Chains A and B, each alone.
Chain A
Amino acid sequence: GIQVEQSPPDLILQEGANSTLRCNFSDSVNNLQWFHQNPWGQLINLFYIPSGTKQNGRLSATTVATERYSLLYISSSQTTDSGVYFCAVERGGTSYGKLTFGQGTILTVHP
């Protein structure tokens, strides 16, 4: 099956710093999503981004499908950004409609 690798596994920041999270995948995809899991366990859908660039406030994401990677940018980080960030992809074909998740990046933002 498709492999999804996220880096770094852990990231510690001071409030106000910027960061970039990376997601590499091993095959072509129809669908790529970024999620944030907050400290209470809730999974929040951040971006649906199979290709191109999107921005939502302090967060933006870019997917370069031909090179099989996606980047999530967090600017001016806040303590509420802490949690785990997951990348998930859908391969299509027999995997149509099914997401495969990476292992996540644990982000800790200190005040």
Chain B
Amino acid sequence: DADVTQTPRNRITKTGKRIMLECSQTKGHDRMYWYRQDPGLGLRLIYYSFDVKDINKGEISDGYSVSRQAQAKFSLSLESAIPNQTALYFCATSGQLGEQFFGPGTRLTVL
């Protein structure tokens, strides 16, 4: 089984809808991250969490919120989706050394 899983893998939604992307990990890592990738670009950090009680904004947090339900679970929400949030979303985890491991990604399309 994969160490970092994301659900759903693909989602098409309409403008204004609320969307939740979920991430689970079995690596036992404390740190979890959400990134977005746009075509032809690298990854940009949305939010990160170093433990269950710690939530921090990344460089592009506007329009997004997160919840760290447990050490193993970190979800990303789009309260009111808009078309420019169409992107590939990745969850990642890391241990104390900082080496990051990524989930398979969620392809989100907002119409």
**Which of A's residues lie within 8 Å of B, judged by CB?**
4, 30-31, 33, 35, 41-43, 45, 48, 86, 88, 90, 97-99, 101-104
A-side contacts of B31, CB under 8 Å: 97
Bound complex: CA of A30 vs CA of B105, how far in Å?
A: 26
Contact between A98 and B41, CB atoms less than 8 A apart: no
B88 at the interface (CB under 8 A from A): yes
Q: Are B42 and A97 in contact (CB under 8 A)?
A: no
Chain B interface (Cβ within 8 Å of chain A)?
Answer: 31, 40-45, 48, 50, 58, 88, 90, 94, 97-102, 104-105, 107
Q: Is the CB of B90 within 8 A of A43?
A: yes
Are the CB atoms of B100 and A33 closer together than 8 Å? yes
Other-chain residue from A35, A41, A101 in contact with B105 (beta carbon distance below 8 A): A41
Residue numbers in B under 8 Å from A30 (CB-CB): 98
Given contacts A88-B43, A88-B100, A97-B50, could you give 10 more A-B pairs where the C-beta distance is less than 8 Å? A33-B99, A33-B100, A41-B104, A45-B100, A45-B101, A86-B43, A97-B31, A98-B45, A98-B48, A98-B58
Instruction: Report B-chain residues with C-beta under 8 Å of the C-beta of A88.
Output: 42-43, 100
Q: List 8 A-B contacts (CB under 8 A).
A: A41-B88, A41-B105, A43-B102, A45-B99, A48-B98, A97-B50, A98-B45, A101-B44
In the assembly, what is the distance between CA of A110 and CA of B59, in Å?
Answer: 37
Asked if residues A86 and B42 are in contact (CB atoms below 8 Å), the reply is yes
Q: Which residues of A contact B58 (CB under 8 A)?
A: 98
**Bound CA–CA A4/B41 (angstroms):** 13
Q: Could you say which residues of chain B place their CB within 8 Å of the CB of A48?
A: 97-99
